Amino acid sequence: MASNRLAQFRVFGKKIVAVGRNYKAHAEELGNKVPEKPIIFTKPTTSYLSQGHPIKFPPGCNDLHHEVELGIVVGKKGYQIPEEKAKEYIGGYFVALDMTARDLQLDAKKNGHPWTLSKGWDTSTPAGEFIEKDKITNPQNLQIWLKVNGEMRQNGNTADMIFSISYLISFISKYMTLEEGDVILTGTPSGVGGLKGGDVIEAGIGDVAKITFSVDKS
Ligand SMILES: O=C([O-])CC(=O)C(=O)O
Ligand SMILES: [Mg+2]
């Protein structure tokens, strides 16, 4: 991928594919079973938010949660990608937040309904700048962390993913073509929690990348 700007994956990326409960400790903290195969959902690209703009509460939400995640930017088109070739399809990385209206999601879960609105409203995917692939030697050994108002809330390591990045690329592409600029959100470690208006979120991947976003409850 030539340019290193977020705009790059906005322009080319057609979809955001997200993975749920990919860290045992997070599945358990919300009282969910540890999955035997990846739980996949999608978010619209209109949910992207770049730094300098506030995260908004969606209508009807009183329990807005942060979820920091390692984002993978797909580097080239592929369908039914073998796991051993998956790394060739990684174009780069970014720090992402999979913002979640936990009360709306709980309601959807109870009724067996999709999570789309609880994960997909405008501003629900705050994203950092594109990180070149060669800046990260081992994406399965990265600290991912998130602070709210300076206090550490999430502090995990990508080594603890249940399903590896290569496995996820192979699994997702069995069903849908991955295209250049599409992104995969690889799931959140434990420590998710509620936010209020005026909170400031800082999150990052080790010392490679950091993002800052404020929360607006108006
Ligand atoms: O909402 C959830 O708990 C599922 C999810 O996105 C994650 O695990 O990252
Ligand atoms: Mg998530």
pLDDT tens by residue, 145-195: 999 999 999 999 999 999 999 999 999 999 999 999 999 999 999 999 999
> In one letter, which amino acid is 31?
G
DSSP element (H, E) containing 24: helix 24-29
Q: How many angstroms separate the Cα of 85 from the Cα of each of 2, 32, 88, 169, 170?
A: 21, 32, 6, 9, 9
Asked whether 52 and 73 are in contact (CB, 8 A), the reply is no
Residues near 47 by Cβ (< 8 Å), separated by ≥ 6?
16, 119, 120, 121, 122, 123, 124, 125
Q: State whether the beta carbon of 108 lies less than 6 angstroms from ligand 1.
A: no
Please indicate, yes or no, if residue 207 is contained in any of the structural domains: yes
The residue whose CB lies within 8 Å of the most ligand 1 atoms, and thus the one to mutate among 17, 22, 26, is 26
* Proportion of the chain above pLDDT 70, given as a percent: 94
Residues 7-21 have a mean pLDDT of: 81
User: What range does the domain containing 33 cover?
Assistant: 6-216
Task: Please give the distance, rounded to the nearest whole angstrom, from the Cα atom of residue 2 to the centre of ligand 1.
Answer: 31
Please indicate, yes or no, if residue 29 is contained in any of the structural domains: yes
The pLDDT confidence band at residue 6, using thresholds 50, 70 and 90, is low
Please indicate, yes or no, if residue 1 is contained in any of the structural domains: no
How many CA atoms are closer than 13 Å to the CA of 16, on its beta-carbon side?
30
The residue whose CB lies within 8 Å of the most ligand 1 atoms, and thus the one to mutate among 40, 41, 100, is 100
Strand ranges for 6-139 from DSSP E? 16-20, 39-43, 48-49, 55-56, 64-66, 68-74, 90-97, 100-101, 125-126, 131-132
* Proportion of the chain above pLDDT 90, given as a percent: 92
User: Whole-number mean pLDDT of the chain?
Assistant: 94
Please indicate, yes or no, if residue 22 is contained in any of the structural domains: yes
Please indicate, yes or no, if residue 83 is contained in any of the structural domains: yes
Query: Structure tokens of 45?
Result: 């690209």
Partners of 166 in the β-ladder? none
The pLDDT confidence band at residue 3, using thresholds 50, 70 and 90, is very low
Please indicate, yes or no, if residue 124 is contained in any of the structural domains: yes
The candidate with the shortest Cα–Cα distance to 105, out of 63, 139, 168, is 63
Task: Please give the distance, rounded to the nearest whole angstrom, from the Cα atom of residue 160 to the centre of ligand 2.
Answer: 15
Ligand nearest the Cα atom of residue 187: 1
Residues 18-31 have a mean pLDDT of: 96
Q: How many domains does the chain have?
A: 1
**Atom 1 in ligand 1: residue holding the nearest Cα:** 20
DSSP element (H, E) containing 210: strand 209-216
DSSP element (H, E) containing 201: strand 200-205
pLDDT score recorded for residue 68: 98
Q: How many angstroms separate the Cα of 79 from the Cα of each of 74, 85, 89, 170?
A: 12, 12, 10, 8
Q: State whether the beta carbon of 39 lies less than 6 angstroms from ligand 1.
A: no
Q: State whether the beta carbon of 98 lies less than 6 angstroms from ligand 1.
A: yes
Please indicate, yes or no, if residue 79 is contained in any of the structural domains: yes
CATH number for the domain harbouring residue 173 = 3.90.850.10
Atom in ligand 1 nearest the alpha carbon of residue 21: 8
Please indicate, yes or no, if residue 103 is contained in any of the structural domains: yes
